[in-house]
């Protein structure tokens, strides 16, 4: 029964953009219709997904809906629907008459395809849904394809996503070879180690490209920065998680993983996490910065998955449960707070028409609701209590500590590097989000645009507030969602008997609620006391003191670039920032400028040079391209003769 609700929800999303195609380009009716259809579809889908938990899991040769599917389905239905509402103001059809219809068509399609991937039990269906998702996402990224930067980002995405698909073709061909059918079932125990490793590595590369795991992340920053903000929220919050979904699924099918698989995922996750946040600190563009944080959070999720794999190799149910539940909960959490952040970044861009952090500032006065949402999202993404990011990171931390053999005989010393690395990631994230929050919302406006802004309307702040509410709910009452994630753990690890793990026993979820509530109550009490005290003693207002300097201007503020400068200096060996400094100046110097930016180490440091080199090598064969049709035919004949001779 409930699966039909899910199908109906998927259908609603898939067709939501179609009616708008038949409306006039300058009318908003099609957009409103699409949003309503999307909301209905999401409501149906969420009801269906939650309802499916209370009935035996649907599993046939085409469709399989278990707890893992449900965990991924819920954000897939929630976030795009809210993004649609947000788009009512952000990407108003009347203001974007050339691309509004296209955007909505593919927005609905990508949502439907994402949901399709998570319920597919058949590799053909999986790949079809996957390709629809990948291609729709390409058209979403290139919404404004008249801009050269946008189309470049789009092409880069297209190339990488097809490389990923290529890996998946090989992966599913191997699976078909082993199991003898296209249905995705657990692989037999007697699987050869080489074959199993090949399947695992193909999954890591193919799905890692989609998820944006560090050396494979090249498409991600550009695509997230160039797409409209609600599309960025969808991509960062939901779309890249589908890569994680695939990896989780394939890992659950493989029997008896050796220890180094988990170790590999742990190392890859750590690299992705640390470097993701380090590169984020170096960025000047608000959306690019948030995009690099997606790389970081994918890293954290991968660490959790790696921990679960290590747990399976060590036969430690507690590590499996904490790692997988932490990873899956972080999938939710990242979807929630990253969407808040992209939505509020979009509100800022909508109001100021710039996403350069160093040209913003002081927006908290004019946009108090957006600022509050951004602040809460920032605290959540740093993994700080009392919000949801803390809960998932706590689970992963506990699992990592336990996997070393604390309070247990069996353990693996190799994962000892991971908890401090996670702490480093958290501390760097705090630094980065203080930089962004301070640079964009606090202080004084640094440009004319930022000085005259208005608060975003209810269409934009409403979705943010809903998501912030979800963040608070998970952060303060993790017990509510814990049973679902326990189900996910059982669905993932078939050798665990039901009832073998209990998140409540393993993690102090009650204490998290208590501590979060105590924190909030104490802050409110202290705030009230301070307020009373101030009323009694009196307050005055004046300019910022600034060590006695009488006339500070906005340009004297610490910019976000200078805020990050020390950290960029600490990580200069990986960031390799390009600095364009003025040369030597005469005694009375002329107007001059200083610029710096941090290029992507993989894309600009490795891929572009190697492709350029390849182009240089192959360009020596240009002479073959004579432009003469007879010559081409002659080549074909020569080639044919060669082939005939070879056999």
Partner 1 sequence: MNPLLDLILVAVLLLNFVALGASQLRTVIHAVALQGVLLGATIVVAHSTVTVWVIVMAGAVIALKGVVIPRMLFHAIREVVIRREVDPIIGCIASLLLGGVGTALAVLFSKTLPIAHEHIGSLVVPAALSTVLTGFLILTTRVKAISQVVGYLVLENGIFIFGLLLVEAMPFLVEIGVLLDLFVAIFVMGIIIYQISQEFSTVSTRKLSALKE
Partner 2 sequence: MSHIIVHIVLILGLPPLLLGVIGKTKALFAGRVGPPLFQAYYDLAKLFRKGSVFSTTTTWVFRAGPIVGLVTALLAGMLVPLGNHSAPVSFSGDLILFAYLFALGRFFTASAALDTGSAFEGMGAAREVTFSCLAEPALFFGFLVLAKLSGSLSLTGMLDGPFPKGWGVAGASLVLVAASLFIVLLVENSRIPFDDPNTHLELTMIHEVMVLDHSGPSLGMILYGASVKLFVMGALLMRIVAPFESGNAWVDWGLFVAGMLALAMVIGVVESVMARFRLVFVPTFLVAACLLSAFGIVLLLR
Contacts of 26 (CB under 8 A, 6+ apart): 93, 94, 97
**256: left (phi > 0), else alpha (psi -120 to 50), else beta?**
left
Give the one residue of 483, 508, 577, 599 binding partner 2; rule: CB under 8 A.
508
The residue behind tokens 């794999």 is: 309
CA-to-CA dists, residue 279 to 285, 296, 508, 596, angstroms: 12, 9, 33, 14
For residue 74, how far is the Cα from the chain centroid? 16
- Pick the closer one to partner 2 by CB: 130 or 433: 433
Tokens read off for 504: 């409540």
In whole angstroms, how close is the CB of 573 to partner 1 at the nearest point? 5
Q: How far apart are CA 461 and CA 377, in angstroms?
A: 13
**Contact positions with partner 1 (CB under 8 A) in 573-612:** 573
In whole angstroms, how close is the CB of 423 to partner 2 at the nearest point? 4
CA-to-CA dists, residue 516 to 387, 427, 476, 513, angstroms: 8, 20, 6, 5
CB–CB of 169/220 below 8 Å?
Answer: no
Give the one residue of 59, 173, 570, 631 binding partner 1; rule: CB under 8 A.
570
Identify what 105 binds: partner 1, partner 2, none; CB under 5 to 8 Å per kind: none
CB–CB of 185/179 below 8 Å?
Answer: yes
- Quote the crossing angle between the two packed helices 418-441 and 286-314, to the nearest 10°: 160
Tokens read off for 347: 């509100």
**Contact positions with partner 2 (CB under 8 A) in 408-427:** 413, 416, 419-424, 426-427
Which phi and psi (to 5°) does residue 356 adopt?
A: -85, 115
**Contact positions with partner 1 (CB under 8 A) in 423-482:** none
**Contact positions with partner 2 (CB under 8 A) in 468-507:** 507
Binding mask 382-421 for partner 1 (x = CB under 8 A): -----------------------------------x----
- Pick the closer one to partner 2 by CB: 41 or 475: 475
From 20-28, 76-84, 570-578, 622-630, span contacting partner 1 (CB under 8 A): 570-578
Identify what 627 binds: partner 2, partner 1, none; CB under 5 to 8 Å per kind: none
124 closest CA partner among 182, 189, 201: 182
Torsion of CA 144, 147, 148, 150, to 10 degrees: -40
**Contact positions with partner 1 (CB under 8 A) in 414-433:** 417
User: Judged by CB under 8 A, does residue 572 bind partner 2?
Assistant: no
- Pick the closer one to partner 1 by CB: 281 or 395: 281
Give the one residue of 58, 382, 453, 575 binding partner 2; rule: CB under 8 A.
382
Query: Degrees (nearest 5) of the Cα angle 174, 175, 178?
Result: 90
In whole angstroms, how close is the CB of 153 to partner 2 at the nearest point? 30
From 254-262, 283-291, 543-551, 610-618, span contacting partner 2 (CB under 8 A): 543-551
376 closest CA partner among 300, 279, 326, 441: 441
Identify what 469 binds: partner 2, partner 1, none; CB under 5 to 8 Å per kind: none
Give the one residue of 385, 462, 463, 478 binding partner 2; rule: CB under 8 A.
385
52 closest CA partner among 114, 115, 1: 1
- Pick the closer one to partner 1 by CB: 149 or 574: 574
Query: Would you call 416 exposed, middle or buried from its count of C-beta atoms within 10 A (0-12, 13-18, 19+)?
Result: middle
User: Judged by CB under 8 A, does residue 132 bind partner 2?
Assistant: no
- Pick the closer one to partner 2 by CB: 145 or 358: 358
From 162-170, 283-291, 568-576, 637-645, span contacting partner 1 (CB under 8 A): 568-576
CA-to-CA dists, residue 329 to 74, 324, 340, 471, angstroms: 12, 8, 17, 11
In whole angstroms, how close is the CB of 571 to partner 1 at the nearest point? 9
Binding mask 341-370 for partner 2 (x = CB under 8 A): --------------------xx-xx--x--
Which residues in 328-355 are b (16+ Cβ under 10 Å) and which e?
Answer: bbbbbbbbbbbbbbbbbbbbbbbbbebb
Q: How far apart are CA 423 and CA 628, in angstroms?
A: 63
In whole angstroms, how close is the CB of 554 to partner 2 at the nearest point? 7
In whole angstroms, how close is the CB of 434 to partner 1 at the nearest point? 22
User: Judged by CB under 8 A, does residue 572 bind partner 1?
Assistant: yes
For residue 295, how far is the Cα from the chain centroid? 7
Q: How far apart are CA 24 and CA 422, in angstroms?
A: 52
Identify what 379 binds: partner 1, partner 2, none; CB under 5 to 8 Å per kind: partner 2
Give the one residue of 200, 245, 342, 390 binding partner 2; rule: CB under 8 A.
390
Binding mask 174-203 for partner 2 (x = CB under 8 A): ------------------------------
> Is the previous residue joined to 583 through a cis bond, with omega within 30 degrees of 0?
no
Which residue ranges make up the site for partner 1 (CB under 8 A)? 417, 570, 572-573
């Amino acid at each position: 029964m409930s699966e039909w609700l899910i199908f109906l929800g998927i259908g609603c999303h898939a067709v939501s953009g179609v009616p708008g195609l038949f409306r006039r380009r300058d009318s908003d009716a099609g957009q409103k219709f699409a949003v309503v259809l999307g909301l209905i579809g999401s409501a149906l889908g969420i009801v269906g997904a939650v309802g499916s938990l209370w009935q035996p899991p649907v599993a046939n040769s085409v469709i399989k809906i278990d707890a893992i599917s449900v965990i991924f389905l819920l954000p897939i239905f929630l976030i795009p629907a809210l993004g649609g509402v947000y788009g009512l103001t952000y990407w108003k059809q009347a203001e974007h008459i050339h691309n509004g219809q296209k955007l909505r068509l593919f927005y609905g399609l990508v949502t439907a395809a994402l949901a399709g991937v998570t319920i597919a039990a058949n590799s053909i269906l999986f790949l079809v849904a996957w390709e629809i998702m990948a291609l729709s996402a390409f058209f979403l990224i290139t919404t404004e394809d008249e801009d050269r930067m946008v189309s470049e980002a789009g092409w880069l995405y297209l190339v990488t996503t097809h490389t990923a698909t290529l890996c998946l073709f090989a992966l599913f061909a191997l699976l078909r070879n082993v199991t003898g059918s296209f249905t995705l079932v657990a692989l037999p125990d007697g699987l050869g180690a080489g074959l199993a490793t090949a399947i695992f590595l193909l999954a890591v590369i193919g799905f890692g490209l989609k998820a944006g795991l560090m050396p494979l992340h090249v498409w991600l920053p550009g695509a997230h920065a160039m797409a409209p903000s609600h599309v960025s929220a969808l991509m960062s919050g939901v779309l890249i998680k589908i890569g994680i979904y695939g990896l989780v699924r394939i890992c659950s099918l493989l029997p008896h993983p050796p220890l180094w698989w988990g170790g590999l995922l742990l190392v890859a996750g750590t690299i992705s996490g640390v470097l993701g946040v380090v590169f984020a600190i170096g960025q000047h563009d608000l959306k690019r910065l948030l995009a690099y944080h997606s790389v970081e959070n994918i890293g954290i999720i991968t660490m959790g998955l790696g921990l679960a794999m290590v747990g399976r190799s060590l036969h430690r149910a507690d590590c499996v449960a904490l790692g997988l539940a932490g990873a899956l909960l972080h999938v939710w959490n990242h979807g929630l707070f990253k969407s808040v952040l992209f939505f509020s970044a979009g509100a800022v861009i909508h109001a100021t028409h710039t996403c350069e952090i160093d040209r913003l500032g002081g927006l908290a006065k004019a946009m108090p609701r957006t600022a509050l949402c951004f602040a809460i999202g920032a605290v959540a993404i740093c993994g700080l209590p009392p919000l949801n990011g803390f809960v998932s990171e706590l689970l992963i931390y506990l699992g990592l500590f336990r996997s070393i053999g604390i309070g247990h005989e069996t353990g693996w010393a190799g994962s000892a590097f991971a908890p401090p690395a996670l702490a480093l990631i958290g501390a760097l994230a705090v630094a980065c989000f203080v930089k962004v929050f301070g640079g964009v919302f606090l202080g004084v406006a640094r440009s004319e645009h930022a000085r005259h802004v208005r608060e975003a309307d209810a269409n934009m702040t409403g979705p943010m507030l809903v998501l912030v509410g979800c963040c608070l709910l998970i952060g303060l009452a993790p017990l509510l969602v814990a049973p679902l994630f326990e189900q996910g753990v059982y669905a993932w690890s078939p050798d665990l008997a039901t009832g073998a793990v209990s998140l409540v026993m393993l993690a102090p979820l009650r204490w998290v609620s208590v501590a979060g509530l105590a924190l909030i109550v104490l802050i409110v009490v202290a705030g009230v006391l301070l307020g009373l005290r101030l009323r009694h003693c009196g307050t005055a207002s004046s300019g910022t003191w600034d060590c006695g300097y009488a006339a500070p201007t906005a340009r004297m503020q610490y910019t976000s670039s200078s805020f990050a400068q020390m950290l960029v200096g600490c990580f200069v060996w990986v960031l390799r920032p390009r600095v364009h400094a003025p040369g030597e100046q005469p005694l009375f110097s002329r107007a001059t400028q200083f610029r710096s930016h941090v290029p992507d180490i993989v894309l600009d440091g490795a891929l572009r040079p190697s492709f350029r080199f390849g182009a240089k090598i192959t360009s020596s064969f240009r002479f073959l391209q004579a432009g003469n049709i007879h010559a081409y035919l002659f080549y074909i004949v020569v080639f044919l003769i060669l082939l005939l001779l070879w056999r």
